[in-house]
Amino acid sequence: MDRWDQLNALFKQTNAKITFGLNALIGKRKSDNSTLWVGEWNSKNARDFMKYTASKGYMIDSYELGNELCASGVSARLEADQYAKDIIQLKEIVKELYPDRETQPKVLGPAGFYDTEWFKTFLEVSGPHVVDGVTHHIYNLGAGVDKTLINKIQDPYFLDEIAETFKDLENVVKEFGPWAGPWVGESGGAYNSGGKDVSHTFVNGFLVYCRQSLIGGNYGLLNTTSFIPNPDYYGALLWHRLMGNTVLATNHFGSPYLRTYTHCSKKKPGITMLIINMSNSTSIDVSVTNDENKYPHSYRMTVNGSNQREEYHLTPKDGNIQSDVVLLNGTPLQLTSSRDIPPLNPKIVDSSSPDQSRP
């Protein structure tokens, strides 16, 4: 377990939240069907690992059972009722090894692609307060080798498709598992490691709000050989620093190539708005009004009591959306001489002026 000990030292140092995926096929066998696995889950290996982890005081946020075994699966699949029985067994082990409810890890599943009937059955059979997060995977751009990937990622239809899938999952969870929450457990835009000329470049930030890996594949946040951050790393870092947990309803009546998302700010009073211009030819001026304000013409955002706002404009080097270099307010983001992340400083503008989102 030396490797696990070393990893936990890293987790503690970086204050990381850890979800650990457990093998759900141990003890099972293939049926006559080429991909269906049947039989009871043998939880001994998982229990021994979890017991060691708990004895060392390692903090685990959640345990997830299996990977992409739901519905038609990927290479292997399980029936929903059997998977539900297996996850009940996992919940009992978690309750035994972590009796303190305050520090008890969550139980997640099924960690695969959404299918309405499969997810319904899973939640009905597993029953109340077994699964805490209903995880699903999103790779709605298709295969990374698709030659049209660069076109798909610029098409707002695919963002709308993600929203519809999540709404469907959310509705099923509300009806059949209201004690749980719908989670995106894995995403990278395009599956099979993403696209080699797309997924590690600036354009991937148009679509992917959740990345499958820190390092690995074309959709990793870091370059796999140099460990230099890819453009999405900086987008994710700004999101982490600026966007709070409270999501605000945001609407606009402009082009579908304009995407807007608003949260309460993370570390100060006010709101933080993410604006994405997916158009390759049109600049868009954006003015913000508060729908609940009876006098929207007088609505002004302030910074430290002044009529100013902070802006962070991310653009690709030389206007090339397939560039590996991203600019913040016109300045390339590059590691410092000591290999640290550079300062991410905003520009301060008059809050009464519209924001210009360039193509």
Tens digit of each residue's pLDDT (9 = 90 or more) over 112-169: 999 999 999 999 999 999 999 999 999 989 999 999 999 999 999 988 888 899 999 9
DSSP for residue 354: P
Residue with tokens 């049947």: 38
Higher pLDDT pick, 296 / 127: 127
- Residue 199: name the closest of 114, 256, 141, 257 by CA: 141
Question: What token pair was written down for 211?
Answer: 């990345």
DSSP for residue 128: T
Residue with tokens 């606009």: 252
- Res 301 pLDDT > 70: no
Domain boundaries, the chain: 11-224, 248-357
C-alpha distance from residue 197 to each of 206, 218, 245, 328 (Å): 15, 8, 33, 22
At residue 296, the pLDDT reads 47
pLDDT tier for residue 299 given thresholds of 50, 70 and 90:
very low
At residue 33, the pLDDT reads 74
Higher pLDDT pick, 300 / 12: 12
Quote the radius of gyration of the chain (alpha carbons, Å). Answer: 23
% pLDDT > 90, the chain: 76
The count of residues in the chain is 359
Q: Which has the minimum average pLDDT: 151-155, 252-256, 353-357?
A: 353-357
Burial of 215 (0-12, 13-18, 19+ CB in 10 A): exposed
Planar angle of CA 298, 263, 259, nearest 5 degrees: 85
* Distance in Å from the first CA to the final CA of the chain: 50
- Res 203 pLDDT > 80: yes
- Res 288 pLDDT > 60: yes
Please state, rounded to an integer, the average pLDDT across all residues of the chain: 91
Question: pTM (2 decimals)?
Answer: 0.88
In 229-346, beta strands by DSSP E: 243-248, 258-265, 271-277, 284-286, 308-311, 314-316, 326-328, 331-332
DSSP for residue 104: P
Q: Which has the minimum average pLDDT: 53-67, 99-113, 124-138, 185-199?
A: 185-199
What would be the CATH architecture of the domain defined by 11-224? Alpha-Beta Barrel (3.20)
- Residue 71: name the closest of 131, 117, 28 by CA: 117
Rounded CA gap, 26 and 76, in Å?
13
Rounded CA gap, 346 and 203, in Å?
21
Q: Is the peptide bond before 110 cis (omega within 30 degrees of 0)?
A: yes
At residue 297, the pLDDT reads 46
- Res 306 pLDDT > 70: no
C-alpha distance from residue 129 to each of 87, 99, 104, 178, 264 (Å): 11, 15, 13, 9, 30
State the catalytic residues: 68, 186
At residue 208, the pLDDT reads 60
Q: Which has the minimum average pLDDT: 45-59, 87-101, 123-137, 187-201?
A: 187-201
